[in-house]
């Protein structure tokens, strides 16, 4: 079978008129003789409403029940899409994760898809049906509903494409594709026609909001090509693929930024083997993602200052975990919740000298002070106020 996986984000299914448009897009692929598997997010804003309900009930809502609540939004959008396809004369039905089933492992709210039972969907495709699968969710070994984290519908689509060996995986969203930077802030931003997994992973992890980093990582590990395009027009999208498939080798592929980061500095940490592990273990166990880590050793080599960054949403919890951590000793903790992260990304930087200087020079001309710097083969990052 020639299979295509079509994933529709929350804005694409945000209203009845948009759901009718989604049905037309699906039908256009059917007319091209594809067997179509649809993945849908919840209607825009619905998941936030469900999250708000859990917080009104309890400050410590049971994780398993939390996932059951926030996974409910996809059930509505999938049924509406299937209902419209039936109205248009096509056989279609919605499928929740437990009906497929889509099997996951890991913590609630942070699960990963490990297997998809293909039998039921394959039979339905063979008889001409269009399955509409709920993204963002799965079931674990205890038969409880789990979720894959915000943006998890992208990961659902990528894993469905992998297991069903789809020819295409198309992510429909409210933008034309991947841009060199946010076109809302920089009108001259250019659409990127082709971008490597590595570059897209860096851009998404550093602030680009087109796709979540773990979704790109899943695509990279499973070698699933992704096309990102708008559901609101017919313009060509952006292809995320292997480096060797990319015809252009731009030095810089894009610029990413984020404003929701916090910086924590532990001053005068007693330096000994295992101290870094002792600092970050409680954060890991509480599913707090640490981004940049910079360590400065004192001249006596007995103490170190350690700086790392996290998302603002995790700041209060992180501070509490650090202060009650009896395994580490430090003189003081410095917290800054007003930092921004600016990153330039591109595989061409590996072989091109002077890129870092040009970035720092541009910031200096704007009188922007750099607090922390991190680099890799395809990125340069600075933090500034």
Average pLDDT score over the chain: 89
For 204, the enclosing helix (H) or strand (E) is helix 197-205
pLDDT given for residue 181 in this prediction? 84
* Measured distance between the N- and C-terminal CA atoms of the chain, rounded to whole angstroms: 54
pLDDT given for residue 249 in this prediction? 64
pLDDT given for residue 384 in this prediction? 60
Reduced to 3 states, what is the DSSP secondary structure of residue 92? Answer: strand
CATH number, span 256-384:
3.30.2130.10
The rounded distance, in Å, linking the Cα atoms of 321 and 337 is 17
pLDDT given for residue 377 in this prediction? 63
pLDDT given for residue 117 in this prediction? 97
The answer to whether the 3-174 and 256-384 domains have the same CATH topology is no
In degrees, to the nearest 5, what angle opens at C-alpha 229 toward C-alphas 99 and 289? 65
pLDDT given for residue 243 in this prediction? 80
CB 160 within 8 A of CB 39: yes
Domain boundaries, the chain: 3-174, 256-384
pLDDT given for residue 29 in this prediction? 97
Which pairs with CB-CB distance under 8 Å and at least 24 residues apart come from 19-28? 19/77, 19/80, 19/81, 19/84, 20/84, 21/231, 21/232, 22/81, 22/84, 22/172, 22/231, 23/81, 23/84, 23/85, 23/88, 25/172, 25/231, 26/81, 26/85, 26/130, 27/85, 27/88, 27/90
CB 383 within 8 A of CB 341: yes
Reduced to 3 states, what is the DSSP secondary structure of residue 23? Answer: helix
CB 289 within 8 A of CB 150: no
Tokens representing 337?
Answer: 């919740």
Beta bridge partners of 57: none
At 88-144, the pLDDT tens digits run 999 999 999 999 999 999 999 999 999 999 999 999 999 999 999 999 999 999 999
pLDDT given for residue 62 in this prediction? 96
CB 359 within 8 A of CB 382: yes
Q: CB-based burial of residue 128 (10 Å sphere; 0-12 exposed, 13-18 middle, 19+ buried)? A: exposed
Q: Return the closest-CA partner of residue 131 out of 6, 226, 14.
A: 6
Ranges of residues in the chain whose predicted pLDDT is under 70: 205-209, 247-250, 298-301, 347-351, 376-385
pLDDT given for residue 348 in this prediction? 66
CATH number, span 3-174:
3.40.1160.10
Q: Is the peptide bond before 358 cis (omega within 30 degrees of 0)?
A: no
């Amino acid at each position: 079978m020639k299979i295509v996986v079509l994933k529709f984000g929350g804005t694409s299914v945000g209203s009845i008129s948009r759901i009718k448009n989604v049905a037309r897009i699906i039908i256009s692929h059917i007319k091209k003789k594809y067997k179509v598997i649809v993945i849908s997010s919840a209607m825009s804003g619905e998941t936030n409403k469900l999250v708000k309900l859990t917080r009104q009930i309890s400050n410590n809502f049971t994780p398993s029940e939390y996932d059951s609540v926030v996974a409910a939004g996809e059930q509505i959008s999938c049924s509406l899409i299937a209902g419209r396809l039936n109205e248009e004369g096509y056989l279609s039905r919605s499928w929740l994760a437990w009906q497929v089933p889509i099997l996951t492992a890991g913590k609630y709210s942070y699960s990963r898809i490990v297997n998809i039972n293909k039998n039921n969907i394959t039979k339905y495709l063979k008889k001409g049906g269009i399955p509409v699968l709920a993204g963002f969710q799965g079931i674990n070994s205890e038969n409880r509903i789990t979720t894959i984290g915000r943006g998890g519908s992208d990961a659902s689509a990528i894993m469905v494409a992998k297991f069903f060996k789809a020819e295409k995986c198309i992510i429909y969203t409210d933008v034309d594709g991947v841009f060199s930077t946010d076109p809302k802030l920089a009108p001259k931003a250019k659409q990127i026609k082709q971008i490597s997994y590595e570059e897209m992973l860096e851009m998404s992890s550093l602030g680009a909001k087109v796709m979540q980093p773990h979704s790109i990582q899943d695509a990279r590990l499973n070698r699933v090509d992704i096309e990102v395009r708008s559901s609101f027009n017919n313009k060509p999208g952006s292809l995320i693929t292997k480096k060797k498939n990319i015809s252009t080798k731009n030095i810089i592929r894009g610029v990413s930024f984020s404003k929701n980061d916090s910086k924590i500095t532990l001053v005068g940490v007693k330096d000994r083997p295992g101290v870094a592990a002792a600092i970050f273990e409680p954060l890991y166990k509480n599913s707090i993602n640490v981004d940049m880590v910079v360590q400065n050793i004192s001249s006596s080599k007995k103490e170190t200052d350690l700086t790392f960054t996290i998302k603002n949403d995790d700041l209060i919890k992180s501070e509490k975990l650090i202060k009650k951590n009896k395994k580490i000793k430090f003189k003081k903790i410095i917290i800054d919740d007003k930092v921004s992260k600016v990153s330039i990304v591109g595989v061409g930087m590996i072989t091109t000298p002077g890129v870092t200087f040009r970035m720092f020079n541009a910031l200096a001309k704007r009188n922007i002070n750099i607090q922390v710097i991190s680099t890799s083969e395809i990125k340069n990052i600075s933090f500034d106020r």
